[in-house]
Amino acid sequence: MQGASMPTLSDTARVRRLRLLLSLSLVGIAFTSVVILIGAWTRLVDAGLGCPDWPGCYGALVVPDAERASLHSPHAPLEAFKAWVEMIHRYLASTLGLLVIGLLLLGAGLRHTPGYPWKTSVALLGVILLQGAFGAFTVTLKLWPQVVTMHLLGGLSVLVLFLWLHLGLRRFVRGETTVPKRRLTPLWMAAVALLVLQLALGGWVSSNYAGIACQGFPTCNGQWWPEMDWSEGFHLTQTVGPNYLHGQLHADARVAIHHGHRLGALLLGLVLVSLAVRHWPQARMRPWLGGLVIAYGVQLGLGIANVLMWLPLWLALLHTAGALSLVLLLALAVWHWREPLEEAEDSTRRDKEWVHV
């Protein structure tokens, strides 16, 4: 029989492996989002020190009974609900780590192939290991705000790297290995920097329990510029050792932190809207930039509602989910901006070709 030759076994295995890698990287994006939200829930129900040790809980791999817990840590009485919340978060985070290792092993055979996102896979492993260390320090340093904030940023970094890996795998599948990418303009870099800053400020608000330090909106405690202690609120050399559950700062310092987060949100919004206006004539950028501006508006509304409703658990979790949406949408917008126009026009056709492989 003449004509097109059948693919070899090795070709078939390669296609299957790439499809598995694509699927697992997509699962990684969703699973990381769940782990971050469970971590936020853990903090919101004051379960961050539900287990006083790490990686076990009162020296066990599962939450023990009160008698064993008392023998292990008599200074930290067992609260079973909080201990289980903390351990569930650890189990899920450990599973995420195994997923990262699995992706690395599956892609190891392709690491020398031009265009394969091997460096992204290695970076993902490095960040997940660092994130594990931050998780340990969160407990051993008793919710030290610096570590808690870095733990949040680390989780978001894992999320972005999973997204970057998935997009890189899609590009590899399409055969786009040597196309140069556009550099980010100052406006794009400002948007990225301000989002990172705002996320860090959000983590600082949470870790210092300043979420309702300002009552009312748009004023703060009935004033446009209330009494604030900026030096104490953003003093980054806080003592290591005290238990930071429920915070250690006085009211004016917490007001400064909260107010700083509000000002950061305003500045970020101005830059995101400017970015959308600047690139709106480019039709292929409209879905990402439009979605980004809408997500920002929703997130702003959630933040205001949290203040006015005194930070209910479900609304605080939605605010965290809004932050994840902003991160993912800005990352996607950056990715598509860096993609040359010719490549963007061909991507749909190549996707269709890949489906029929």
Cis peptide before 114 (omega within 30 of 0): no
Longest Cα–Cα distance of the chain, Å, equals 85
Out of 86, 176, 227, 345, which one is annotated catalytic?
86
Closest CA to 128 of 27, 17, 28: 28
Helix (H, G, I), strand (E, B) or coil at 57: strand
The upper half-sphere exposure of residue 82, i.e. CA atoms within 13 Å in the direction of its Cβ, equals 16
> DSSP letters along 148-191, please?
HHHHHHHHHHHHHHHHHHHHHHHHHHHT--S---PPPPHHHHHH
Burial class (CB in 10 A: 0-12, 13-18, 19+), 222: exposed
- Percentages helix, strand, coil for the chain (3-state, rounded to 5) are 70, 0, 30
Residues facing residue 9 across a β-bridge: none
Residues facing residue 223 across a β-bridge: 220
How far out from the chain centre does Cα 104 lie? 20
Buried-exposed string 29-41: b where 16+ CB fall within 10 A, e elsewhere: bebbbebbbbbbb
Beta strand segments in the chain, E: none
| Cβ-proximal residues to 285 (8 Å cutoff; 6+ apart), any chain | 279, 333, 336, 337
Q: Is 86 a catalytic residue?
A: yes
Q: Are 33 and 324 in contact (CB under 8 A)?
A: yes
Buried-exposed string 185-202: b where 16+ CB fall within 10 A, e elsewhere: eeebebbbebbeebbbbb
Q: Are 275 and 319 in contact (CB under 8 A)?
A: no
Catalytic residue positions, numbered: 86
